[in-house]
Chains A and B, each alone.
Chain A
């Protein structure tokens, strides 16, 4: 009934200062939730970007079983058909073939086990950031097939610099025989990802294929989609389409399940924080409503005396809770938007810090999303109404005579 909505709002505005303080307190809680959600979203994007853009790609195709065993003979089945299909995929922006194998690299001073990656410098360039991460030398500038790019940490371990020679030993695909070759350090990169800077080296695709004796075969095709969200979309028909010929196509959540697990944990933490926040909010609402009720007990007695049904009293107090929620949502929504927007412009600097195996390489920018301004306010509104039922039922159950006596 409109009269109760009107009464609820006027009652809320009766003690403006108290309502404003209560609304602000609840609103700050909402703003904090919006900000944390936006920050988490920004952090997720940053981590995905760090993990996928640096080298991994947003998705990849491999021979089934290669991910677990890295056996050199598990090359992509029907490679030409796969490549032909990929060339005609409208949802793909770039793709590049790779050869991957465990190997031993030695210098005159030291040796280290690494993952040797054979890449096509031209098609690799738009997929990964190896070329941009070169800190010394250059990215396969000539056509020397003995060029090798290593990470700065590996260079430290091996105590080598540009132009120094390295010997790389791999196990051949067919026979398992060891194959050695001499390379010259043509570039040193720093991706700020410890595993890569310390444990990876890049050579030309043809050279890696020759060392492994796999002809023109490759172990992996890294993918970059036109829409960056596609890589995380498990329902994309693309994955099924290319999971044949003994191959499996997968997006980054399958490639890095630990990252998805971290995100789930972070989201759960946010919900937990939200729950605790809502608990505090609940006490605030109950306190505010009870203070208001006790001040107006005689009025409730009068309302009951003139024929207001108990359910209508329940409605009235619940609407007051709802009005408080609306006030809080407006205040919290504005505050949440302003704070998040400002930080989304300036960013938060966590660069260089490693979290769950991913190093933040760029500033984290909180991401505003319409969902934050619908989902959380809606939850807050429903929760406030629900919590408001307690004082509301207290007021509704009170006998009119008792209510009037209590105020005298």
Chain B
């Protein structure tokens, strides 16, 4: 083998890679017929290829795909939402409506920080406190926002206090409901009730 030119081994590899030129191929063949050492070398190299290719074709273990999916990052909420919107257009519209509505309700809750009350004859206002004096009778509902209400007399109607406290004296007499609203949810509930009331009353009017 020592007498053989180095490039012969190189030609062997070219031959095995299948990109040997015609001249190299002829030179290699000529050499191999005359040299048994190189013949054996060539033989062994060919065996390597056969040996490695004899490896069986293994397949991925079962559950491989599920494993990949479990390791994949969760879909961004954006994509998930987009898909949901596509498949439920009506619900999307309803949800959007609700969001806008509640936003307007919340903002009105936050904006209404001013002291205000229902104008009724014969009530007294002291600072941010509305007083129904003893012996007086108020005919109608009283709503006080961002202030306190003190009832010493009679009220023929509902009493509502938003963001405040109401004090009722033992002499007081309220024919309707007494309500104190200090929480956002109470406020919402109150808003919804008053809206339905309005709608109902407009229906009543329509019927009449």
Interaction A to B: no
Interface residue ranges, B against A (CB under 8 Å): none
